Amino acid sequence: MKLKRYGSDLLDFIYPPLCLACEQRLYFPEEDLCFACLHDLPRTDFERYIENPVFQIFKGRFPLQHAAAWLHFEKGGMAQVLMHQFKYKDQPQLAFLLGKTLGEEWREAPICREADIIIPVPLHPRKRRKRAYNQAEKIAEGLAKAIDKPVMADQLIRQVYKSSQTKAHRFNRWQQVKSVFSLKHGDALHGKHILLVDDVVTTGATLEACLSAMKDIPGARFSVITLAYA
Ligand SMILES: [Zn+2]
């Protein structure tokens, strides 16, 4: 059973709420992260310039309006510690908090201001069963709350991929990734500026596969935002 982070005084005495990054004790109104860690997050400031390193990843691969990541991901760094917490330690509220904080900080940036609809990268159904939540969806929900835009998590679908497929050897890994996303209906997305959200961007292959699945939506424009850039 999970205890509320701020329970009774007795619960706080027995299980004092701790910062998920530095493990120091939290004090009201801190939640999940202490103010010192929030302040020290390794921000990229990528929202300030269009041609930032994340935008460059997609250049020539997919036409985007904007692309940016909020934090630098470094081995052993704070972004890695926090992502580990919400991916493997059952801390969906941390993903929400980080998405919300990102949205509060970038609310006036074009990447957030110009978006109409927020779509999280879907999690593989098998992983979703294991984790019980999609961390990209939690980030998207936090972001949506901060910038007051709707999330549509049911439009983009990730199909079950069978690695035992006999033809699998004919395709390289990239093609396999590319084939797993599809659009359910998409009517609600016509003419919209879609902000695609994920936890981390590295090669951009997963995000590009999602964008490819949505590329034929009439009049749609696309931007990409991630919590971290590795
Ligand atoms: Zn801390």
Kindly list the domain boundaries of the chain, sorted by start residue. Answer: 9-40, 44-229
Gap from CA of 66 to ligand 1 centroid (Å): 31
Q: How confident is the model at residue 159 (pLDDT cuts 50, 70, 90)?
A: confident
Kindly report each contact of residues 140-144 with a partner whose C-beta sits within 8 Å and lies 24 or more positions away, as own/partner.
Answer: 140/99, 140/197, 141/96, 141/99, 142/95, 142/96, 142/97, 142/98, 142/99, 142/100, 142/101, 142/102, 142/103, 143/99, 143/100, 143/102, 143/103, 143/112, 143/118, 143/197, 143/225, 144/99, 144/103, 144/118
pTM: 0.88
Gap from CA of 133 to ligand 1 centroid (Å): 24
Do 167 and 156 form a contact (C-beta atoms < 8 A)? no
Q: How confident is the model at residue 46 (pLDDT cuts 50, 70, 90)?
A: very high
Gap from CA of 123 to ligand 1 centroid (Å): 28
Gap from CA of 8 to ligand 1 centroid (Å): 22
Gap from CA of 24 to ligand 1 centroid (Å): 6
Please state, rounded to an integer, the average pLDDT across all residues of the chain: 89
Q: Which residues surround ligand 1, an ion (CB under 5 A)?
A: 19, 21-22, 34, 37
Share of residues in the chain with pLDDT > 90 (%): 76
- Strands 193-201, 221-229: parallel, antiparallel or unpaired by DSSP? parallel
For domain 44-229, say whether CATH 1.10.10.10 is its number.
no
**Residues 99-150: tens digit of each pLDDT:** 999 999 999 999 999 999 999 999 887 777 888 899 999 999 999 999 999 9
